[in-house]
Amino acid sequence: MHRRAALELSRRHGVEWSCATARRNAAFVPVVGLVPRRHFRISPLRLDSSESSPSNSPGDPVAGTSSSPAPSGPKFGNRWGSKTQRPLGLSPAEQAIRDSLVAKKQQEEQQQRKQVQRQQQEQQRKERQQQSQQRWKEGRSQGRMEEQWPSTRWRDSGFKPRQSDAFPRRRSGHNNEDKESLSLQPDRSLEVNVNKVPKHKRSTSWTCPDCQTRCYGQHTVCPHCKAARPNLHEGPQRHRASPRHRHADEEATKIRKLGQSVLSEKDGGNAEGLRPREAAFRGYMASQGQFAGPRPVFDSNVDKEISAQEAREARKKEIEARKEEREAKKEERKAQQQSEEDKQEKKPADPWTWDASSLKNIKVREDEIPESKPKRKVSRKQRESGRDEEDLFDEDEESQRRKRREEKKRLKKEKARKKEMQATTSPLYLPEFISVSTLADVIGVRPAQFVRRMEEMGFDDVTYDHVLDAETAGLIASEYNYEPIFDTGEGDLTAAPEPEDKSNLPVRPPVVTIMGHVDHGKTTILDWLRKSSIVATEHGGITQHIGAFSVAMPSGKTITFLDTPGHAAFLDMRRRGADVTDIVVLVVAGDDSVKPQTIEAIKHATSANVPIIVAMSKMDKEGVNPDRVKQDLSIHGVHVEDFGGDVQAIGVSGKTGQGMLELEEAIITLSEVLDHRADPQGHVEGWVIEATTKSYGRVATVLVRRGTLRTGDIIVAGTTWARVRTLRNEAGQTVLEATPGMPVEVDGWREQPSAGTELLQADDEQHAKSVVDYRLERAETQKLSEDMTAINEARREKLEKRRQEEAGADQAEETVQSGPKPVQFIIKADVGGSAEAVLNSVTAVGNNEVYANVLRSEVGPISEFDIEHAATANGHIISFNMPIEPAISRMAEKRGVNIMNHNIIYKLIDDVKSILSEQLAPNVSQRVTGEAEIGQIFEITVKGRNKTAIAGCKVRNGTINRARKVRVIRGQETIYDGSITSLKNVKKDVTEMRKDTECGIGFDGWTDFAVGDHIQCYEEVFEKRYL
């Protein structure tokens, strides 16, 4: 059934069946009447003139069948039928059979066309071979033929490419001529490196002689048709008239201006030498009347026909023609320019009138502009020949133009400067101190201009080496549109900010500081609270250290107490105590009321915003007046509750314990109201209360403010750091950790820390060392800043002196200004706070004639280095509350060094005053011991012939002593003040003359006395001064 359907389908489409089944089944197919046949043909758009031959040979298959002639053009849906259209009314099976038959038919037609093309190409090759042989006979060079016709080289050499799948074998027999050419070829199987491309052919592409495909030079066969590359093993050949590297097609044909054709020489101008597609296209264009002949090309073989002489002559003619054309253009431009000048002369000289036609004369093409020299050179020649009025006018115009250009440049620079000033500010990093010249160099301004600008800003006497601090330099830099950036302290270690909400944090013990005047009973109250006796251990009965204790109250609460000294020398200690405390207990004696240190404690507490509780001590004594105490406190801003204030005032007694429970209750109540809380986690923060040196090393009393301090932590205080070795409480017992509000003793410090410094925890040792180095650098910078003013003042004085010398001012005699005389001291104390108090007290002693200069202030015992240092500086050593070893005492006595060993600070101050008083100049007074009057003048001879004048005197009062000083008074004026060289009675030398005696007096180097002058003999009395 399927075969019948396929047969019927093929009949409808006019397909010729070559199989026997079609003929056998043709009788079984009924003839259908009135059914129009459907003819299937490929669209004419697919037909190409290059693929169809003008006439079919008798053996070629036809396109259509004999029973169905090809129609002129069937249509489906008013369009030309194409292979994409399918007849309607077919089932899928019929459609598939139809497609397979049509594809088979197209394949057969394609094979037939390829066979025809192959025959035509073979015929063309034979014709080209015959032509090449003919050229050999005519004397053509074989090398040139190979260069010109690369596609025929392999045929001339007798080589035949192998057959491939792209060209199937012809069913006809082999050609005898091919057999002969093959027989002449050498045996390629015996050669070595046959398929290797030579080096000179690897960079040259080649065209396949079979399929005309462009191939790379490294290919030995065509990648499309597998044809071998011709002339593979020939040596390199070069033409003198051609470049070294050129493709074969470019060497074959060169496009020239000569109207010769290579095809006319090759194949007589016909289309036999072309590819089928090109020949068909040429025939189609000729039928349309649009083909005018072959392309004008130039063959490289006709180089001999055009000689080099002819080429040079042609080139010369071309150059001469161009010169004539250029000269003609010049003449034309000159004539045009002359005509324009004539027109301008005829027009009236009105610079304010013009017409539209003048614009045409202005627009001149670039190639028509005459090549003329600059106007400046022309004007120079005119000036040489002589200037007329027009030249002078041109000069004035040129000068005005130059002035306008300069003004424009100036305005442009001014605008650029303003724009630069209005631009965005640039950051400028400034050090702590910088000189004027360095700052000008950094900003980019000349120093002279920079100094003038500073003087305009209000600075006086500014020089290049004037030193500016960072703040002043920043103000000046901001005027030059710079944003000064100072040291922000990023390398320092700072405390963390306080949390806003402390309600979730645990409660810490309050820190209570006991403050007041000396001997008002502060330590006695603390002893009663601690159930101990500290006063008995204090030297002189006064406190000279800050004591930090944690006391457990009978109520179960823990309170940390700080006992500060009340002596005036311990001002800084009290200030530190007020800064670190939560509550201040102000102790005022009931019988002594308010004293200077009491007022000072009030100032410290109020400045630190610390609440105060007043404890009126010594209430067990007679003559106590609490109302007077309250009244005196109100005068200084402390208003107690009885006087309408909010400060609690409680009467206590350290000996009997009177009012101690009320004082404890008041402290606990106030601490609960203040609600002191701290975070025990995180980094440790605190203060150094006291620092000293003990047998196990440098130690410091630390009060923890936040965090928990443990053994092994790295802490930094001031300019030193420590790894915590041990922690001890006030009883000397070792503890594992210290929580907020707990005082402990820490050892393991690299250097002795200063009392009152803030303590912070570092991450590691490297971090601690970097922080300490940064702080040391800052301290050095701060020290330099103190000397900056003195340096600038000295430089200013030196500059003023130099100006006076340059101006020729008379130099006055240099007077040595004697300033205060320094007395050197070295301080060694037991703790840092005591050392600081001694330092402040000692440096406060002195006046404008003498002062105490402290070389070093340290904690610890006296060492040999201290003795050597004091001996070198001719100074004294102060040892405060420290034992002195006998060896050190013997060494100091041997070197002549005075050691002042004291335990009470006010006795130390008295000793320092006495030492300074020894350096004061004594008070000198004059007491007259005798008077005499000159009555006569004598001349005597001394030492040969030298004569000197002697005053003959009579003693009026007292005695005239030769060893004492005398002064001569004439009227009310002292004309001489000196000494006596000789005192004689007649001719006898005497030492003293009494009243009413006559004597001769000779003065030391002075003889201008006269009769009637009065002589007074006096002595100087020295009185010792004290500070």
Which is nearest to 706 in space by CA: 733, 732, 742, 673? 742
Burial of 153 (0-12, 13-18, 19+ CB in 10 A): buried
Task: Look at 375-379, 474-478, 744-748, 950-954 and tell me which has the smallest mean pLDDT.
Answer: 375-379
Residue 313 main-chain phi, psi, to 5 deg: -65, -40
Residue 846 is classified by DSSP as B
Q: What is the pLDDT of residue 9?
A: 54
The answer to whether domain 821-918 and domain 923-1023 are alike in fold is no
Residue 55 has pLDDT above 60, yes or no: no
Question: What pLDDT, on the 0 to 100 scale, is given for residue 988?
Answer: 84
State both tokens at 716.
Answer: 């930094």
Give residues with Cβ within 8 angstroms of 865, minimum separation 6: none
**Number of CB atoms found within 10 A of residue 936's CB:** 12
1000 phi, psi to nearest 5 deg: -105, 130
Q: What is the pLDDT of residues 956-1008, one digit of tens each?
A: 898 998 888 999 998 888 889 988 888 888 888 888 888 888 899 988 888 88
d(CA 191, CA 159): 15
Alpha carbons 58 and 65: distance in angstroms, whole number: 15
Please tell me the CATH superfamily of domain 923-1023, with its number: Translation factors (2.40.30.10)
Contact present, 451 and 464 (Cβ < 8 Å): yes
What whole-number distance in Å separates Cα of residue 97 and Cα of residue 12?
13
Positive or negative torsion for Cα 664, 665, 667, 672: positive
pLDDT tens per residue across span 703-753: 898 999 999 999 999 889 999 999 988 878 899 999 998 889 999 899 888
Helix, strand, coil shares of the chain, percent, nearest 5, are 40, 20, 40
pLDDT at residue number 722:
93
CB atoms near residue 845 (< 10 Å): 19
Residue percentage of the chain with pLDDT more than 70: 67
From 3.30.70.20, 1.10.1060.10, 3.40.50.300, 3.40.50.10090, which CATH number describes the 511-675 domain?
Answer: 3.40.50.300
Tell me the C-alpha distance between 340 and 32, whole Å.
98
Place of tokens 């074959």: 252
Q: Which of 438, 506, 501 is nearest to 467 (CA)?
A: 438
Rounded average pLDDT over 310-335: 82
% the chain with pLDDT above 90: 8
Helix (H, G, I), strand (E, B) or coil at 18: coil
Taking the C-alpha atoms of residue 701 and residue 546, their distance in angstroms, rounded to an integer, is: 9
**Taking each helix axis from N to C terminus, what angle separates 864-873 and 886-895, rounded to the nearest 10 degrees?**
20
Which pLDDT belongs to residue 877? Answer: 93
Q: Give the Cβ contact number of residue 840 at 10 Å.
A: 16
Question: Residue 561 corresponds to which tokens in the numbers above?
Answer: 């107490």
Q: Which among 670, 632, 631, 627 has a CA at the least distance from the CA of 648?
A: 670
pLDDT-derived band at 78 (thresholds 50, 70, 90) equals very low
How far, CA to CA in Å, does 301 sit from each of 38, 142, 260, 512? 59, 12, 12, 122
Q: How many residues does the chain have?
A: 1027
Closest CA to 583 of 654, 509, 639, 522: 509
> CA 223 → CA 149, 152, 165, 219, 787, distances in Å?
22, 19, 12, 8, 93
Between residues 507 and 360, the one the model is more confident about: 507
Of residues 915, 907, 911, the one with CA closest to residue 544: 907
Parse the chain into domains and list their residue ranges.
2-68+79-115, 141-248, 255-324, 428-485, 511-675, 821-918, 923-1023
For 476-519, the pLDDT digits (tens) are 888 888 888 876 667 788 888 888 888 888 888 888 888 888 77
What is the number of helices (H) and of strands (E) in the chain? Answer: 27, 38
The rounded distance, in Å, linking the Cα atoms of 298 and 811 is 107
pLDDT at 244 over 70: no
- 462 backbone dihedrals φ, ψ, rounded to 5°: -90, 130
C-alpha 515/C-alpha 564 separation (Å) is 6
Q: Where residue 139 falls among pLDDT bands split at 50, 70, 90?
A: low
| Residue range 821-918, CATH number | 3.40.50.10050
Alpha carbon of residue 104 to chain centroid: 80
Distance between CA 529 and CA 797 in Å, rounded?
64
The answer, yes or no, to whether residue 825 has pLDDT greater than 90, is: yes
For residue 576, which of 561, 568, 564, 559 has the smallest C-alpha distance?
A: 564
* pLDDT at residue number 195: 62
Contact 642, 649 (CB under 8 A): yes
What integer best gives the mean pLDDT of the chain?
Answer: 73
Please identify which residue in the block is written with the tokens 């301080």: 827
The confidence score (pLDDT) of residue 604 equals 79
pLDDT value, residue 180: 42
Considering 137-141, 551-555, 828-832, the range whose residues carry the highest mean pLDDT is 828-832
Which residue reads 């030079």 in tokens? 217
pLDDT of residue 576: 60
In this prediction, residues 912-922 reach a mean pLDDT of: 88
Can you give the pLDDT at residue 363?
Answer: 46
Which long-range contacts link 32-38 to residues 24+ away (Cβ below 8 Å)?
37/11, 37/12, 37/13, 37/68, 38/12, 38/13, 38/74, 38/87
Average pLDDT over every residue of 903-913: 86
Q: Do the Cβ atoms of 912 and 825 come closer than 8 Å?
A: yes
DSSP 489: -
H helix or E strand, kind and range, residue 809: none
Which residues fall within 8 angstroms of residue 282, CB to CB, at 6 or more apart?
271, 274, 291
Secondary structure (H, E, C), 769-808:
HHHHHHHHHHHHHHHHHHHHHHHHHHHHHHHHHHHHHHCC
Residue linked to tokens 């000033």 = 421
Query: H/E element holding 726?
Result: strand 720-728
Burial of 761 (0-12, 13-18, 19+ CB in 10 A): buried
For 162-166, what is the mean pLDDT?
42
What DSSP designation does 455 have?
H
For residue 272, the model assigns a pLDDT of: 47
Pairing mode of beta strands 965-970, 1014-1023: antiparallel
| Cα-trace Rg, the chain | 64
**Mean pLDDT, residues 442-451:** 88
Lowest-confidence segment of 209-223, 302-316, 730-744, 808-822 by average pLDDT: 808-822
Answer for the pair 524, 617: CB distance below 8 angstroms, yes or no.
yes
Q: Where are the alpha helices (DSSP H) in 643-692?
A: 660-674
Confidence of residue 566 (pLDDT cuts 50, 70, 90): very low
Structure tokens at 534: 């500290």
pLDDT in tens, 269-306: 444 455 666 777 777 777 766 655 665 544 444 444 45
Task: Please answer whether residues 899 and 862 qualify as being in contact, where contact means their C-beta atoms are separated by less than 8 angstroms.
Answer: yes
**Residue predicted with more confidence, 912 or 234:** 912
Residue tagged 């309408």 (tokens): 644
Cα 866 to Cα 98, 828, 903: the distances in Å are 124, 9, 19
Neighbours of 569 (CB within 10 A): 21
Q: Does position 366 have pLDDT exceeding 70, yes or no? A: no
Reported as a pLDDT band with limits 50, 70 and 90, residue 350 is very low
Give the C-alpha separation, 514 to 547, whole Å.
10
